[in-house]
Chains A and B, each alone.
Chain A
Amino acid sequence: MTGLPDAAIATQLAPPTERRRRPTSAGPLRRFVQLVVPPVALFIVLVLLVELVVVAAGIPPFVLASPSAIFTQFALYAPQVLEATIATGINALIGLVIGAVVGVMLAIVASFIRAIDGMLVPIVAAVAVVPIVALAPVLYTLFGSTSEVARIIIASIAAFVPVFLNTLRGLRQVRPVHRDLMRSYAATPRQETRAVTIPSALPHFFTGLRIASSLAVISALVAEYFGGPRQGLGSAITTAAASSAYARAWAFVIGAILLGLVFFALTALIERIASRHR
Chain B
Amino acid sequence: MSTPAPAAAPDPTPAADATEAVVVRGVERIFPGAKGATVAALTGIDLTVHDGEFVSLIGPSGCGKSTLLRLIADLDEPTAGDIRVFGKTARRARIDQAYGIAFQQAGLLPWRSVAANIELPLQLHGVGTTERRARVAELVDLVGLTDFARHYPDQLSGGMQQRVAIARSLAERPSLLLMDEPFGALDEMTRERMQTELLRIRAETGAAVVFVTHSIPEAVYLSDRVVVMSPRPGRITDEIDVRLGDAAERGEDLREDTAFFEGVTAVREALHGPQASPAGAARGVDVR
Contact = CB atoms under 8 A, between A and B. Distances in A.
Contact of B103 (A180, A187, A196, A276): A180
Q: Is the interface of A mostly helix, strand, loop or mixed?
A: helix
Contact of B124 (A178, A195, A277): A195
Contact of A186 (B94, B103, B110, B154): B94
Contacts of B125: 185
Given A184-B94, A186-B95, A177 B109 contact: no
Question: Which of A276, A277, A278 is most buried by chain B, counting CB atoms within 10 A of its CB?
Answer: A277
A181 interface: yes
A20 interface: no
B111 A277 contact: yes
Main secondary structure of the interface of B (DSSP, over half): loop
A276 B111 CA distance: 8
Contact of A178 (B97, B99, B107): B107
B145 interface: no
Nearest to B169: A184
Interface string B101-120: 10101010111000000001
B221 to A, nearest CB: 26
Contacts of A202: 111
Interface residues of A, number: 18
Nearest to A177: B107
Contact of B109 (A180, A184, A187, A196): A196
Contact of B154 (A177, A184, A191, A278): A278
B75 interface: yes
B121 interface: yes
A195 B109 contact: yes
A188 to B, nearest CB: 9
Contacts of B99: 184
A175 interface: yes
B166 interface: no
B153 interface: yes
Contact of A185 (B70, B109, B124, B154): B124
B136 interface: no
A181 B107 contact: yes
A276 B113 CA distance: 12
23 contacts: A175-B105, A175-B107, A177-B103, A177-B105, A178-B109, A180-B70, A181-B107, A183-B75, A183-B94, A184-B94, A184-B101, A185-B97, A185-B121, A185-B125, A186-B97, A187-B124, A191-B124, A195-B124, A199-B111, A277-B110, A277-B111, A277-B154, A278-B110
Interface of B: 70, 73-75, 94-95, 97, 99, 101, 103, 105, 107, 109-111, 120-121, 124-125, 152-154
Top 5 nearest A-B pairs (CB, nearest first) are: A177-B107, A277-B152, A186-B95, A199-B111, A184-B101
Interface of A: 175, 177-178, 180-181, 183-187, 191, 195-196, 199, 202, 276-278
